[in-house]
Every structure is written in structure tokens, then in C-alpha cells.
Amino acid sequence: MEFSTRLQQLPKQFFATLVQKVGAAVAEGRDVINLGQGNPDQPTPPHIIKAMQEAVINPQTHKYSPFRGLPEFKEAIAEFYAREYGVEIDANTEVAILFGTKIGVVELPIAIMNPGDSMLLPDPGYPDYWSGVALADVKFDTIPLLAENDFLPDYTTVSDEVKARAKLMYLNYPNNPTGAVANLSFFDETVQFAKDHDIAVMHDFAYGAIGFDGEKPVSFLQAAGAKDVGVELYTLSKTYNMAGWRVGFAVGNAKLIEALNLVQDHLFVSLFPAVQEAGIAALTSSQECVTELVAMYESRRNALKVACDRIGWAVTAPKGSFFAWLPVPEGYTSEAFADLLLEQADVAVAAGNGFGEYGEGYVRVGLLVDEDRLHEAITRISKLNLF
């Protein structure tokens, strides 16, 4: 029995390969400092765990959830967006609960596109965007994210042909892998671009809570008319260290939300109710845990910048997310440099070419180990005399 054509078209799982390389090194007994991962290293806050514990004890949470989730959870999501971003969300028609936002990223092309249709993806970008392309049997064009444009797409460079065939566009700020952020004027420009060319927008707001230097990341839905053209995906994985809990949501354009919900009606019976109860606690309780988490990531970012400056590695500090996007030394490709660091310094980073053609020349470093380990990693790299 053979795999379907769709499965055969799936891209190679970039992060699975990275995990295998690191796992092999660790199995040899090596002390690998893993800066290549995107897995939060801090525990879920206690009040969220307590809410989950109490919900699990309640026999009512052991039943099937309503197909499209608990109304109370959707109300909490609407309350969260009103409080944090001043955006009004209709809990009944403008919210889709997701098993982590990766589900939404992959589902959306399936929900609104036909085989052979085309979408626009950022390059570099989150590799699982390509998974949605393959499973929906659609095509894609890319928009380069370049340092000289602060890793924002320049819509003036998009050809008329590409604009005419694109039906859906993905964006992601704060950005994985570059750590760049977007401002409201860029999102205003995006809304106009989408309206002018009849393109739907999905903004991946996975790192929405993580902005540095006193700047809070901007929601795409804060732009005037954003709900006319698109949706925003938000995950509890990063904001509340709930990565393994697999809970997120999409908010925005009612028609796109209905498309996501309809796909999920046929795939799932929504999320375990106790997890939804924990999500309510996360979104509606004190956000002090988020403030503390962002401060920790900013401190780690600063420590990384200081360590890199010390060895002559010219890097730009990220403005958001928990990633840094670092240039490779002259004479190396991204993959060759990443392999060198793992083999000779026991430091794992993610090669930039794994995020797209325009990721070549960079490696992604996660701020997901403590400051001592960050300093130790850069010290190990300094001994290779590359800078």
C-alpha cells in the first residue's frame, strides 16, 4: 500500500531532522547546549495548572465538548482581545478554537482554497506553512523578508502576476525566525494590499506577547478593516508556557472563521473541556506571569547580545519573539555552520535555509536556556576562532 500523492508531496519535517541530529549527539554522552529548539523551557504558571486540576475532577469535563468549543472559552477569548488590543470580537461568529495554532495554519488552505490555487508565503518563514500547501494541493509564491526592509515584506516588489493569482497570504509578527516586529502602519498597508487584490490574510500571532524595549507587539486586527480581509491566530503555547497543552484560537473575519470551524466539525469534537477551562484561567486571570516571562526573555536576549559582541559576532538584537537571527561567518553556508557548531562546539542551532531560500546566511537561536548556558554556548563558539 502506497502513501497518497498528498502525503508524498509533504515537505521534509525540518525540526524532526534537527531533533534527530541533536539526539544522536546527546546519545554519545555529549553536553549539547540546544539553541535550535522552539520549545519553551519554563513551566506552566501554577494558577493555570490549578484550574486544570479542578476541571479534571469535575465529571462534566469528561463528556464531549460542544463541537465548536465551550461558549465560556470563546467569551474569554473575546474579553482577552478587548482588554489587550482594544479589538471587539464576536464570540459566536469570530472565534475558532484550535488544537494549537499549527492546526489552523494547515487547515486554512484546505478550508478556502481549491487544488491549483496559489497563496503567498513569507521567506524565511515557519516551515509548517508549506505543509498546508501540500495537504491542500495548492501552489505558492514567496515574498522575501530582507534585513534592509526590517524583515517586512515589500509589497511594491510583488509582480502583477503573483498578485492576480494569490488568494491567501500568511504573515507572522513578531517573526519566527527573524525576531522582527511589525507596526500598525505596516498592517494598514497590508489591509489595503489585500483589499486591492482580493487576497485573504492569515496573521500568525504566536509570539504576540513577546516584545522588547517597552514595545508591546501590535495585533493585525488593530488595523482598520483587518476583519474585512483576514484572521489572526493566537496560541497559549508561548504566552503561558502551554506548548504541550495544544490550545490556541483564530479570531477575525467571520467567513474565514466559519470555514475553519466547518473543517473542524468533520475532524474533531473540539478540545478536551478541562483544557478549555484552563485556557479561560490563563486569559482572564492576572497577567503578571506574562510580564515576568517577557522580562526573562529580554534579559536572555541582552545576555546573548553582550556575549556575541564580546567575541566579535556582529548581530542585531531581536525586537520580539524568543528567537535571535544571527548571520553566519563568511565562507560558510547556514547548514555547514550549524553542523560545525554541533560537531565541534556541542552547540545546536537551526540552519536558516530550513526556513526558506532567503534564510540562507543565517542561523536561528532560541532564547530558551538560562543566561549561564547562553554565555557558555558563545564561549564554546569563540574557541573556533571564526570571528
Are 124 and 218 members of one domain? yes
Name the domain boundary from 252, 284, 316: 284
Domain enclosing residue 371, as ranges: 5-44+288-382
Tell me whether residue 387 is in a domain.
Answer: no
Domain final residue pick, 267, 284, 301: 284
Q: Are both 118 and 238 inside the same structural domain?
A: yes
Whichever domain contains 111, its CATH number is 3.40.640.10
- 308 and 237 in a single domain? The answer is no
Span 353-367, pLDDT tens digits:
999 999 999 999 999
Instruction: Answer whether residue 37 shows pLDDT above 90.
Output: no
The stretches of the chain forming alpha helices (DSSP H) are 5-9, 14-27, 46-57, 71-85, 101-112, 129-136, 160-165, 184-197, 226-229, 236-239, 254-267, 273-284, 288-310, 334-340, 371-382
pLDDT value of position 14: 75
Q: Do 214 and 315 belong to one domain?
A: no
Q: What is the mean pLDDT of residues 151-169?
A: 97
The reply to whether 81 and 188 lie within a common domain is yes
Please say which residue of 250, 284, 318 terminates a domain.
284
At which residue does the C-alpha cell 515537505 appear? 11
Does residue 269 sit in the same domain as residue 299? no
Q: Is residue 55 part of a domain?
A: no
pLDDT digit string, tens, across residues 314-354: 999 999 999 999 999 999 999 999 999 999 999 999 999 99
Between CA 253 and CA 228 the distance in angstroms is: 6
Q: What is the pTM (predicted TM-score) of this model?
A: 0.96
User: Nearest to residue 335, comparing CAs of 364, 314, 367?
Assistant: 364
Count Cβ atoms within 10 A of the Cβ of residue 146 and give its class: 0-12 exposed, 13-18 middle, 19 or more buried.
middle
Among 210, 172, 164, smallest CA distance to 318 is for 210
Q: Left (φ > 0), alpha (ψ -120 to 50) or beta: where does 19 sit?
A: alpha
CATH number at residue 329: 3.90.1150.10
Total domains in the fold of the chain? 2
Distance CA 294, CA 233 (A): 20
Does residue 251 belong to any structural domain of this protein?
yes
Q: Is the pLDDT of residue 276 over 90?
A: yes
